[in-house]
Amino acid sequence: MPATNRQLILHSRPKGLLAPGDLQLTETPLPELQDGQALARVKYLSIDPTMRVWMAADTYLPAVAIGEVMRAGGFAEIVESRHPDYKKGDRVTGLTGLQDYVIVDSSAKHFFQKVPKIPFVSDTVFLGVLGMNGVTAFFGMEIAQPKKGETLVVSAAAGATGSIAGQIGKIRGCRVVGIAGTDEKCNWLTKDLRFDAAINYKHPDWKEKLAAATPNGIDIDFENVGGEIMQEVLNRMNLHGRVVVCGLISGYTKENVGMASLGTILVKRLRVEGFIILDYAPRFMEAATQLGQWKMFGKIKDRETIVEGLEKAPDAINMLFTGGNIGKLIVKV
Amino acid sequence: MPATNRQLILHSRPKGLLAPGDLQLTETPLPELQDGQALARVKYLSIDPTMRVWMAADTYLPAVAIGEVMRAGGFAEIVESRHPDYKKGDRVTGLTGLQDYVIVDSSAKHFFQKVPKIPFVSDTVFLGVLGMNGVTAFFGMEIAQPKKGETLVVSAAAGATGSIAGQIGKIRGCRVVGIAGTDEKCNWLTKDLRFDAAINYKHPDWKEKLAAATPNGIDIDFENVGGEIMQEVLNRMNLHGRVVVCGLISGYTKENVGMASLGTILVKRLRVEGFIILDYAPRFMEAATQLGQWKMFGKIKDRETIVEGLEKAPDAINMLFTGGNIGKLIVKV
């Protein structure tokens, strides 16, 4: 058993992007394993925009306390066990936190669950398509109630969740238009993921291009971003459109995550619905089963951006807000 | 047949409240009745906040054009007919406009429909409980999906629509809290309409009173007002709450009808849904049948504020935004 554990501790709440020192790398002794505990080596960490929310304030989960290990989803392998349900070599996902090792026990707070080894599939699939991003896209699209022939717009479309949501839209028979921040991302969406169009919002004429790509207006907004991009999408929404508020990334590094025009909601009879994926935990298996089939049959493709080294996790978090990743962003510990 | 018709013509788009001259009273010759037309004497006019929207801009209906008769719902009686479906003495409701007489024909644009004479019931019921306000409250509460024991808050609760929405909430087994702008209105809500509580938002401690009146938080917001009142209600919404955006009165006399916090919608998993009652036209009979029963059995009570004289209609419209009316506001022509 290893003697020490490297951990990224929340030292100060960031203003804007993470500054050096907001998360501090520390080395702490590993406590002796108690009965009912197992020790797991964290192998991959899921880097998600919501982590920035956890660093800032109590929301759908309590904020990470100053001095605590930074919360994060991860994939880990049991290296030693005094827990009857886990043996060495078992593989788990859950809220491992940004650290080398995590104590696994029976408490529910870390959402640990065992996952199988799937032949020919990377273990990181349990953080992406079969993890939080996949189920988030799945249930978000359930809320959207897509109908064949409708137009779906996805923001942050080249991100881990957006890219899956758009592909579910294609499976459901929608015209799917993605919004992303580089031409490379847009090419990935249209060439590999078969989006009908993709708009680089950093081009000066992106609003005209969005209009050209949505000639029949927009029926569904799978919203990951908020702010000016969302407002332009709302401007093009059709009557009785649905706005699924999955995330508001553009606001997470600001004081305020932004507002939606009530006049637009009223006059266009929109349904604007926020959701938090943890509410769907009892149905995760249902979603993962479907997502696994789609992935196996090539109907959902994914892509990863892998950053090596626990110490690089703070930089990786910032990449989410500066547009540095394509697809699922992972730190390999 | 009368020779002339008094009409209130939209002369200029108001800024804020209506100013003298925004609507101008004119006397115009009545054209000779053609085959397929009937002439109806307007007896009662429905004065509703949405009229201020119609004066300002194209929204769910085109704005009233400068020089046109101001659009308004009304109750009228046929005085002469060259239309096969109407005979003298028939009674109709529809978009009569602010005028003494209206030409009734078969075009759909005025939404005319014949209504019966109901013993012991005022004709004005077809403008209120059995009219637009009743069906608006009915379908708005359908969107809200109230469950027994939930807490419903209604803003502009002493208005024609809000007062019915709250009473439907009581029928559905909700705890119902109204927000209104005078103690007299609040007393009417609690004493006559059996609301569980009513809050006068003009009292300095209204937010504390709202908190005290909603000890289990708020599950449904039947929103008629927007602005600061709505924001405070959103602050007290429970997870998975529903916000039915029926109207945004506080913003109709301003440049912008206001915004809702997307962060609140996301973190509280709210469903915010706008609706426009005209979409429900095919189901009006269903609603009116139910509303008529409730009214007959005393489960829905109503009250009217009647202003006498077509020329007073502009002042009456302003009353809606200064809080002058209790219940249904009607101009008796």
CATH code 3.90.180.10 region(s) in chain B? 4-127+303-332
For residues B256 and B305, the model is more confident at B305
- From the list A256, A271, A274, the residue facing B268 with the nearest CB is A274
Beta carbons within 10 angstroms of residue B25's beta carbon: 14
Q: Are A96 and A119 in contact (CB under 8 A)?
A: no
Strand partners, B77: B41, B91
Cα A41 to Cα A80: distance, rounded to the nearest angstrom: 9
Whether domain B4-127+303-332 has CATH 3.90.180.10: yes
| pLDDT for B121 | 87
Interface confidence, given as ipTM, is 0.90
| CA nearest to B8, candidates B62, B61, B56, B72 | B72
CATH code 3.90.180.10 region(s) in chain A? 4-128+303-332
Place of tokens 């009353």: B319
| pLDDT for B267 | 94
DSSP state, residue A190: I
3-class DSSP state of B216: coil
Q: Average pLDDT of A111-137? A: 93
Set of chain B residues whose Cβ sits within 8 Å of the Cβ of A269? 273-276, 279
Fold for the domain defined by B132-278: Rossmann fold (3.40.50)
Set of chain A residues whose Cβ sits within 8 Å of the Cβ of B274? 262, 265-271
| pLDDT for A258 | 86
Cα A272 to Cα A260: distance, rounded to the nearest angstrom: 9
**What is the pTM assigned to this prediction?**
0.92
Asked if the model's pLDDT at residue B1 lies above 80, the reply is: no
pLDDT in tens, A203-218: 999 999 999 999 999 9
Cα A7 to Cα B124: distance, rounded to the nearest angstrom: 72
H or E element in which residue B284 lies: helix B284-296
Q: Are A83 and A104 in contact (CB under 8 A)?
A: yes
Q: Average pLDDT of B20-48? A: 96
| CA nearest to A106, candidates A133, A81, A123 | A81
DSSP state, residue A282: G
Cα A128 to Cα A327: distance, rounded to the nearest angstrom: 9
| pLDDT for A118 | 86
DSSP state, residue A132: H
pLDDT in tens, A284-333: 999 999 999 999 999 999 999 999 999 999 999 999 999 999 999 999 99
Amino acid in the structure at residue A162: G
- From the list A226, A270, A275, the residue facing B269 with the nearest CB is A275
- Contacting A residues, span 217-236, partner chain B, CB-CB under 8 Å: 226, 230
Place of tokens 């758009």: A166
Cα B249 to Cα B263: distance, rounded to the nearest angstrom: 23
Phi first, then psi: give them for residue A123, nearest 5 degrees. -60, -25
pLDDT in tens, A147-190: 999 999 999 999 999 999 999 999 999 999 999 999 999 999 99
Place of tokens 């996301």: B266
H or E element in which residue A232 lies: helix A227-235
**In sequence order, which ranges of B148-190 are alpha helices (DSSP H)?**
160-171, 183-187
| CA nearest to B14, candidates B319, B317, B259, B250 | B317
| pLDDT for B120 | 83
Determine whether B117 is exposed, middle or buried from the number of CB atoms within 10 Å of its CB (0-12, 13-18, 19+). Answer: exposed
Cα B103 to Cα B101: distance, rounded to the nearest angstrom: 7
| pLDDT for A27 | 97
A73-81 and A38-46 strand pairing = antiparallel
Q: Average pLDDT of B43-67? A: 96
Which value, to the nearest 10 degrees, does the dihedral of the CA atoms of residues A91, A96, A99, A101 take? -40
Residue A203 tokens read as: 């081009």
DSSP state, residue B44: E
Q: Average pLDDT of A103-116? A: 90
A143 alpha carbon, distance to own chain's centre: 17
Name which of A9-18, A108-117, B99-108, B153-162 the model is least confident about. Answer: A108-117
Whether domain A4-128+303-332 has CATH 3.40.30.10: no
CATH code 3.40.50.720 region(s) in chain A? 132-278
Whether residues A267 and B274 touch (CB distance < 8 A) is answered with yes
Nearest CA in chain B to A272: B272
| CA nearest to A270, candidates A248, A235, A243 | A243
Cα B181 to Cα B176: distance, rounded to the nearest angstrom: 17
Q: Average pLDDT of B180-197? A: 98
Is B296 near chain A, with CB under 8 Å? no
pLDDT in tens, A65-89: 999 999 999 999 999 999 999 999 9
Asked if the model's pLDDT at residue B259 lies above 80, the reply is: yes
Nearest CA in chain A to B263: A257
Whether residues B274 and A265 touch (CB distance < 8 A) is answered with yes
Q: Average pLDDT of B115-133? A: 93
How many angstroms away from the CA of B99 is the closest CA of chain A?
Answer: 27
Percent of chain A with pLDDT over 90: 93
Residue A221 tokens read as: 């907004």
| pLDDT for B258 | 86
Q: Which residues lie closer than 8 Å to B108 by C-beta, 6 or more apart?
A: none
- Contacting A residues, span 29-58, partner chain B, CB-CB under 8 Å: none
Q: Average pLDDT of B282-286? A: 93
Percent of chain A with pLDDT over 70: 100
